[in-house]
Amino acid sequence: MKKMIAVLLLMPLALFAVDNNDALEDPELQERYETITRELRCLVCQNTPISDSNAPLAEDLRNQVREMLLAGSSNREIYSYMTDRYGDFVLYKPPFVKRTLLLWLAPGILLLLGGTVLVRTVRQRAAMPIDDDDENEEEIE
């Protein structure tokens, strides 16, 4: 009985094994294969990488990645093969180009902006006399 429960509990895990391909013989290639298929978006079900998607297209693209790896292609060659056909959108990590400048720089700009406001506010507050006649502060105290 206990064994059966254990088996039943493990069953959902088996569902995640989408990729039916045998592992590549060369462990280094297999590692690259896993990295690349995790970095490529499946266009049919857009929020999954092709490594986790059972859409027929994802399967085809996984096979393509394997074949290219076995043929000696570099990671860069494989990524550009994909973007030549499907556009930058297939990459989970968008390239740093003019069109994506705002996307890449926005976090830094916002941090800088927020930091500046924070520093200024803190300095202003520090410069204020302690006996401020702000009603709210009195209430809290």
Partner 1 sequence: MSRFLAPILILVVLVGFFFIGLHKNPNIVPSPLIGKPAPQYELPLLLKPGETLGTEKLLGQVYLLNVWGTWCFACRAEHGVLMEIARQNIVPIYGFNSRDDPQKARQWLADLGDPYVASMVDTDGLVGIDWGVYGAPETFLIDQTGIVIHKLIAPMTMRIWHEDFLPLIQQLKAARP
> Residues in the site for partner 1, rule: CB under 8 A?
43-44, 46, 56-57, 60-61, 64, 83-89
Q: How far is the CB of 6 from partner 1 (least distance, A)?
A: 39
Compute the distance between CA of residue 58 and CA of residue 40 in angstroms, rounded to an integer: 9
Residue with smaller CB distance to partner 1, 34 or 88 = 88
Q: How far is the CB of 43 from partner 1 (least distance, A)?
A: 4
3-class DSSP state for residue 45? coil
Q: How far is the CB of 100 from partner 1 (least distance, A)?
A: 14
Residue with smaller CB distance to partner 1, 29 or 57 = 57
Residue with smaller CB distance to partner 1, 10 or 136 = 136
Q: How far is the CB of 3 from partner 1 (least distance, A)?
A: 41
For the chain, how are helix, strand and coil distributed in percent, rounded to 5? 65, 5, 30
- Measured CA to CA in angstroms, residue 64 lies from 22, 56, 57, 73, 114 at distances of 14, 12, 10, 11, 45
- In Å, how far from its chain's centre is CA 105? 17
